Amino acid sequence: MPIATPEQYAEMLDTAKAKGFAFPAFNVSSSQTLNAVLQGLTESGSDGIIQVTTGGADYFAGHTVKARATGALAFAKFAHEVAKSYPVTVALHTDHCPKNALDDFVYPLIAASEEEVKAGRNPIFQSHMWDGSAVPLEENLEIAKEILPKLKNINAILEVEIGVVGGEEDGVKHEGSNEALYTTLNDAVAAVEALGLGEQGRYMAALTFGNVHGVYKPGNVKLRPALLKEIQDGLAAKYGTGDKPLDLVFHGGSGSTDDEIAEAVANGVVKMNIDTDTQYAFTRSIAGYMFSNYDGVLKVDGEVGNKKQYDPRAWGKVAESAMAVRVGESTRQLGSAGNSLTA
């Protein structure tokens, strides 16, 4: 299927919220990892979101240059073309853009989509994240207020982070008090006062409830998904809205239990970012392949090796399929499996 239209993306998110599931959003950094996501989504009958960070976009552009907007556009063009061959609907998203990357990442991409929309076509990306978690909340929301109407004009969605996700992702590192890892109701009220509840443009909110990016062992991080319900209920009471007024995003979920994920989704999470686990699945399969085919991938003791084994397509297919399996696990864990718009 072609990449989701803005209307289809809105329908995806609305359906997830109404039916009580969430879409996995997979970070990719190459054509191989992108294809692995498409394979995994297809095999599980799930729609999904494919996203790229500043670092991923830099890598798409070529690791010896710094041209992240170029890399992101190259990723999007590739995705728009190859997605046509798969019977699922996917949306494209840019992930974790800090303040110092707005001018060479999100803003040029918005400008490129503005040109597409002027020509009567759809935006290149269906949503963009502004990551203001490293700046004071007031500044975070002021910048979000500047971006939101730009995205509304191209029929795209904004993602904001209200709170701090611990750990590090693509050089964006947060170290602070444990209290900073938990969004408060007052923080969420400030966000709604600044951004509205959809009338100024649609947005998703990554509220934090103890989340940490990267790898951690169970018990090292104290997730409090019940906090999301407290905030949703508080906003509903204050603004007289229906149940779960915010569309929520779950960041830093590696190592979370099934119960923690299920509770977060029940409290309004419609998008959950997946990165660490799929990275490991991809690389672990390559390591296994190389150990199992040692004499074929290396020219040991003057031998010639086995071209069929060291051909990058040979181990690349193994890696893509291994990552696709982990993609499928995410769709089942979040409940999106079998819920494709095309089903």
245 burial via Cβ count (<10 Å: 0-12, 13-18, 19+): buried
Q: What integer pLDDT is reported at residue 254 of this predicted model?
A: 78
pLDDT band at 221 (very low <50, low <70, confident <90, very high): low
Give the Cα separation of 309 and 316 in Å (integer). Answer: 10
- Which of 47, 58, 95, 170 is flagged as catalytic? 95
Residue type, 266: A
- Binding site, annotated residues: 96, 131, 161, 213-214, 251-254, 273-276
pLDDT band at 214 (very low <50, low <70, confident <90, very high): low
Whole-model pTM: value is 0.94
216 pLDDT more than 80: no
pLDDT band at 255 (very low <50, low <70, confident <90, very high): confident
Q: What integer pLDDT is reported at residue 169 of this predicted model?
A: 46
What is the enclosing helix (H) or strand (E) of 172? strand 172-174
Q: For residue range 49-59, what is the model confidence (pLDDT) as tens digits? A: 999 999 999 99
Q: For residue range 35-77, what is the model confidence (pLDDT) as tens digits? A: 999 999 999 999 999 999 999 999 999 999 999 999 999 999 9
- Binding site, annotated residues for Zn(2+): 96, 131, 161, 213, 251
Q: For residue range 272-322, what is the model confidence (pLDDT) as tens digits? A: 999 999 999 999 999 999 999 999 999 999 999 999 999 999 999 999 999
Mean pLDDT of the region 116-142: 97
Give the Cα separation of 19 and 13 in Å (integer). Answer: 10
Please say if 295 is a catalytic residue: no
Whole-number mean pLDDT of the chain?
A: 93
What is the set of domains in the chain, with CATH numbers?
6-334 (3.20.20.70)
Q: For residue range 162-180, what is the model confidence (pLDDT) as tens digits? A: 987 654 444 444 444 466 6
- Binding site, annotated residues for dihydroxyacetone phosphate: 214, 252-254, 273-276
